[in-house]
Amino acid sequence: MAGNRTAHYRTVLDATLTYSRQRDYAGHNKHDGLNSFVLGPLFGWSKWTRLLAIQSVMRAPWNLRPLLLVPHTRNPKGIGLFANTLLDRYTAEGRSEDLEEAIQLLDWLLENPSTGFQGLSWGYPYPWQDVGFYAPRHLPNRVVTCWIGFAFLEAARLTGESRFRECLPRIARFLTNEPRVLCDTDTMKCYSYVPDAAVHWAVMDVPALTGAFLAEAGNLLEEEPYIRESRRLINWVIDKQTDYGAWYYTDPPGDSKIAHDNYHSGIILDCLDRYRVASGDDGFDDAYWKGIAFYQHNLFTPEGAPRWMDSSEYPYDIHGAAAGILCFTRAAERDESYALVTDMILDWTLSHLYDPRGFFYYQKTRWWTKRFCLMRWCNAWMSRALAATLRRRAGIKP
């Protein structure tokens, strides 16, 4: 049975990468409504009109983007995820063409960074309005930059090439030197999402991702100051965990209507384990396992469907499925029982949110399924999840 599962997952990943490669890894994005040649000029002039345009396109039961003339774009975050996917598959299966293609994608990222900031950074290819801030097109942010940074870390480990190693301190410079520091004590630290001195939003996965990246970069480069900084960031995240093991999206919680959601919870847990492995510090283990238990039992159904939040089941979102697979794949390295959870989520996802033509659907609501692919949100994340699963099944630690 295990061999059949592995072969099936391999076939699905092949089809997904083929579909994505044929489209040059470009597509529509969840929040790209203002890239519309129609909506951009009409709604791009204020916070509330921008929110109306983005949310309307995002929440529509059908993909309105072609009708609204939203162009397909390469999302740097998606390119980083696809590069990491190919590196993971190369590690698991030794295909030289995977390494070559991953390097091509990383080279594209190096040729297309955000500009005007210290170090090396990336943002989204569309204007993005959130409740807490506005980010013009290509304004870098710490979340996108960290996920791309993880791909450069993996490339540096696998190839030993100095040009990939040299990217890491440049990425760290952006993450740590650009505004804004929201908390800075002897034991804790937190940065803002975007490099904007006016932004006061503390979003939980920002210090988690930044801390994980700095720990891994510090380990690889033998830079102890990075690891010390990472501990303060992770300690801030741990400090905000509830007594029942969850995290809110923001601190204070009332800054956002998002409470305990699926994929941000999975990402935070992923980052805690990344920090542990890179730093050798297991002092946060109790918080990690308490978080894992909350995540499994409150943010997934017994069948493996990814709940939207602990307080609302729908929609089942493909990003939640991918985050769960990645999170429990790492947990399975320490407790093999979580491998069964990974397979359960994957089996549910392939039964309900996968099209055999090679793409994953965006969401399944209570009444209908949004049967279209948003390239970064759907295929990039699920490719990453499938490759991590194949890597674990090949006996290679994350």
In the numeric block, the tokens 């091509």 are attached to 104
b/e map of 331-365 (b: 16 or more CB within 10 Å)? bbeeeeebbebbbbbbebbbebbbeeebbbbbbbe
Q: Is the peptide bond before 180 cis (omega within 30 degrees of 0)?
A: yes
- Which helix (DSSP H) or strand (DSSP E) does residue 331 occupy? helix 318-331
b/e map of 267-299 (b: 16 or more CB within 10 Å)? bbbbbbbbbbbbbeeeebeebbbbbbebbbebb
pTM of the model: 0.97
- 308-328 confidence digits (pLDDT tens): 999 999 999 999 999 999 999
Q: What share of the chain is helix, strand, coil (3-state, %, to 5)?
A: 55, 10, 35
Q: Which of 7-16, 302-311, 389-398 has the lowest mean pLDDT?
A: 389-398
* Region for residue 46 given its phi and psi (left: phi exceeds 0; alpha: psi -120 to 50; beta: otherwise): beta
Q: Tell me: pLDDT of 1 over 60.
A: no
Quick one: what percent of the chain has pLDDT higher than 90?
95
Q: Which CATH number is 2-31+76-393's, of 1.20.1250.20, 3.40.50.261, 3.40.190.10, 1.50.10.20?
A: 1.50.10.20
At 108 the pLDDT is 98
- 347-375 confidence digits (pLDDT tens): 999 999 999 999 999 999 999 999 999 99
- 211-245 confidence digits (pLDDT tens): 999 999 999 999 999 999 999 999 999 999 999 99
Q: Is the peptide bond before 179 cis (omega within 30 degrees of 0)?
A: no
Residue 66 structure tokens: 């072609």
Assess contact for 121 and 143: CB atoms under 8 A.
no
CA distance 139 to 161: 28
At 107 the pLDDT is 98
Mean pLDDT over residues 299-313, rounded? Answer: 97
At 2 the pLDDT is 60
Assess contact for 270 and 247: CB atoms under 8 A.
no
Residue 31 structure tokens: 């929040």
- 54-80 confidence digits (pLDDT tens): 999 999 999 999 999 999 999 999 999
Query: Which parts of the chain are beta strand (E)?
Result: 26-27, 73-74, 128-129, 134-135, 181-184, 189-191, 202-203, 250-251, 316-317, 354-355, 359-360, 363-364, 369-370
Q: Compute how many other C-beta atoms are within 10 angstroms of the C-beta atom of residue 60.
A: 14
Question: Read out DSSP for 127-161?
Answer: -EE-SS-EE-TT-B-HHHHHHHHHHHHHHHHHH--
- 270-281 confidence digits (pLDDT tens): 999 999 999 999
**Mean pLDDT, rounded, of the chain:** 96
At 262 the pLDDT is 97
User: Which SS3 state, helix, strand or coil, does residue 203 take?
Assistant: strand
At 276 the pLDDT is 98
Instruction: With both helix axes pointing from N to C terminus, report the angle between 96-111 and 142-159 in degrees, rounded to the nearest 10.
Output: 140
Mean pLDDT over residues 118-125, rounded? Answer: 98
Query: Residue 100 — very low, low, confident or very high, per pLDDT cuts 50/70/90?
Result: very high
For the chain, residues classed under CATH 1.50.10.20 are 2-31+76-393
At 240 the pLDDT is 98
Query: Residue 3 — very low, low, confident or very high, per pLDDT cuts 50/70/90?
Result: low
CA distances to 92, 152, 279, 366, 379 from 158, rounded to whole Å, are 12, 10, 19, 43, 24
CA distances to 53, 126, 160 from 35, rounded to whole Å, are 10, 6, 39
User: Which SS3 state, helix, strand or coil, does residue 89 take?
Assistant: helix
Q: Which of 18-27, 84-93, 194-203 has the lowest mean pLDDT?
A: 194-203
